[in-house]
């Protein structure tokens, strides 16, 4: 379950600190994938919940995988991968 208050607080802090969002086109180019048994025990490092088998995920060019909704909201505020700081394109 996503803790929406915590998630909202993180996004507010990113906005207050002047973070630059990823370009809309780079977010739209991320292809949705379905998690499988190899990564069903992984957790989304944005919301900290399990990814789970057959869950819709997005994989960044750096190969880190997150819940689609979580990473989309993240990238709308910051162009960095939350794990390795890989830089997504900006406008």
In a domain, 85, yes or no: no
Q: Is the dihedral of CA 46, 51, 62, 58 positive or negative?
A: negative
Rounded to a whole number, what is the largest CA-CA distance in the chain?
38
In a domain, 91, yes or no: no
pLDDT tens string for the chain (91 positions)?
566 677 677 666 655 666 899 999 999 999 898 887 777 668 999 999 988 877 889 999 999 999 999 999 999 999 999 999 999 999 8
The CATH code of the domain that includes 56 is 3.30.40.10
In a domain, 88, yes or no: no
In a domain, 44, yes or no: yes
| Residue 59 neighbours by CB distance under 10 Å | 17
């Amino acid at each position: 379950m996503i803790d929406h208050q915590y998630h909202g607080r993180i996004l507010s802090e990113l906005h207050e600190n002047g973070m630059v969002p990823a370009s809309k086109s780079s977010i739209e180019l991320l292809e949705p994938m379905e998690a499988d048994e190899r990564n069903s025990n992984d957790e989304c490092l944005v919301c900290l919940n399990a990814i789970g088998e057959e869950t819709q995920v997005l994989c960044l060019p750096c190969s880190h995988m997150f819940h689609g909704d979580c990473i989309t909201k993240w990238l709308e505020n910051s162009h960095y991968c939350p794990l390795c700081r890989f830089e997504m394109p900006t406008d």
